[in-house]
Structure 1
């Protein structure tokens, strides 16, 4: 019974921003559990290469696709073409994201616009393009990737926190609209993981020490520690779970 509940074998999953970093780990995790994964990124050649690597490692079917998630029209067209070619995905993981750091009073308009477009608008564009087909079918799983910054602020990243707070609340709004179609929409908010995007942080001895002291688990997270939560939210085990934001952060958001 348990194996059936958590079984995602053969399910079609689109993971945005999955050619590298955190998204890549999520795509690999789904593929390792037998999902038919579509890897996405901006550079088609690197996406194809990574899709091949994942397929060879996991033995599962892996596809490659490239489109600009910040372009509403391009996204709509790409999703329609994807559905024509592969069918309606069972799973959508909205992972594409960007970080730009600067003191609030010095933050540029261009960086603000880039964060809003990549971290928040893209999630809306991709979900809006895909969920009508999920609704017509009567099933679907949407997992949005938030952050501890969905709940907590920190200096030099106020706009990033605003976008991730928006992701968390958009998740709730999507759940309210889509639950009637048997589509569950949830959010995974990772704590501090050693990604390429935050290389400057984990290579900084004082910041590294701060993370280890601030986190009850006293360490950074490992990519594979996100996979269990993701598989749960993609499986039938979470059929009555929607609108939730699950923090995978070693306890950071639970303490002061």
Structure 2
């Protein structure tokens, strides 16, 4: 319990085809874990797995899956366990944001955001945790957001889904602690990812964000990886049910 070495562990990262998910997968592989990355796009899943293998030398697997579909999620779990024999670390990183005022928000967009950000982690945990229970070890890391704790206009579905994910994480922690499974949420603030390019490229919106960040810059995806590796490791065994904010000081005001 004195190392961040993940040698012998297997990590499954949803949304690992790009953005933060890809960064998390690379970090876990660099720490010694074998990794399976998922994407809706088979090409992205395959290319991300190949990239991580080339960069880290670890065994990798790319899985094409719609994480909002329970049958596909069940097949994903079986494929990962079939390939590696176990899954020790589940990182629920797949996410989506649709920005609209509430009165303009259509039901289809609402349902898509809720399904991707909240239902999918529920489905993935249900599929993976039985394997963790059998092996008496598990680490669940749910990627929420600072907007699960504070609000922002035009993010009604996103804020509510990410707030719900924090609460779901706490229930997971309570229900599975006896099986040596921890569940924690990571709550990033504004990070320079593909999802946020629409904001970064809008001068007025970008200035709004920078004015609310005491550090006066967007976060770099790699600045989240230390926490991810820690939460995946033996060192975090007494930490469960927590929601950790990394947001450049936004929520400190």
- Answering whether residue 145 of structure 2 is matched by residue 140 of structure 1, we say no
Matches within 5 A, 1:201-212: 201-212=199-210
- Unaligned runs of 5+ residues in structure 2 are none
Map Cα deviations across residues 61-103 of structure 1 (whole Å, 9 max, x no partner): 2211111111112211321232123212110000111111111
- Answering whether residue 51 of structure 2 is matched by residue 53 of structure 1, we say yes
Q: Distance in 2 between matches of 1:206 and 1:45?
A: 35
Match in the other structure for 1:103? 101
Q: Distance in 1 between matches of 2:194 and 2:141?
A: 22
Q: Distance in 2 between matches of 1:46 and 1:212?
A: 31
- More deviation, 234-243/246-255: 246-255
Q: Distance in 2 between matches of 1:126 and 1:13?
A: 13
Q: Distance in 2 between matches of 1:88 and 1:20?
A: 24
Q: Distance in 1 between matches of 2:38 and 2:197?
A: 22
The answer on whether the counterparts of 2:215 and 2:248 sit within 8 Å (CA) in structure 1 is: yes
Matches within 5 A, 1:116-155: 116-155=114-153
Q: Would you say how many aligned residue pairs link Structure 1 and Structure 2?
A: 253
Q: Distance in 2 between matches of 1:136 and 1:61?
A: 23
Map Cα deviations across residues 32-83 of structure 1 (whole Å, 9 max, x no partner): 2221111111111221112111111122222111111111122113212321
- More deviation, 77-86/52-61: 77-86
Counterpart secondary structure, 1:198: helix
- More deviation, 211-220/186-195: 211-220
Residue from 145, 148, 167 that aligns with 1:169: 167
Map Cα deviations across residues 225-249 of structure 1 (whole Å, 9 max, x no partner): 0000001100111000000000111
- Answering whether residue 15 of structure 2 is matched by residue 35 of structure 1, we say no
Q: Distance in 1 between matches of 2:194 and 2:76?
A: 27
Match in the other structure for 1:16? 14
Q: CA RMSD in A?
A: 1.2
Q: Distance in 2 between matches of 1:138 and 1:51?
A: 27
Q: Distance in 2 between matches of 1:52 and 1:165?
A: 34
Counterpart secondary structure, 2:194: coil
- Answering whether residue 59 of structure 2 is matched by residue 64 of structure 1, we say no
Residue from 87, 90, 93 that aligns with 1:92: 90
Matches within 5 A, 1:230-245: 230-245=228-243
Measure how far apart 1:5 and its partner are: 2.4
Instruction: Kindly report structure 1 stretches of 4+ aligned residues shifted beyond 6 Å.
Output: none
- Unaligned runs of 5+ residues in structure 1 are none
Counterpart secondary structure, 2:139: strand
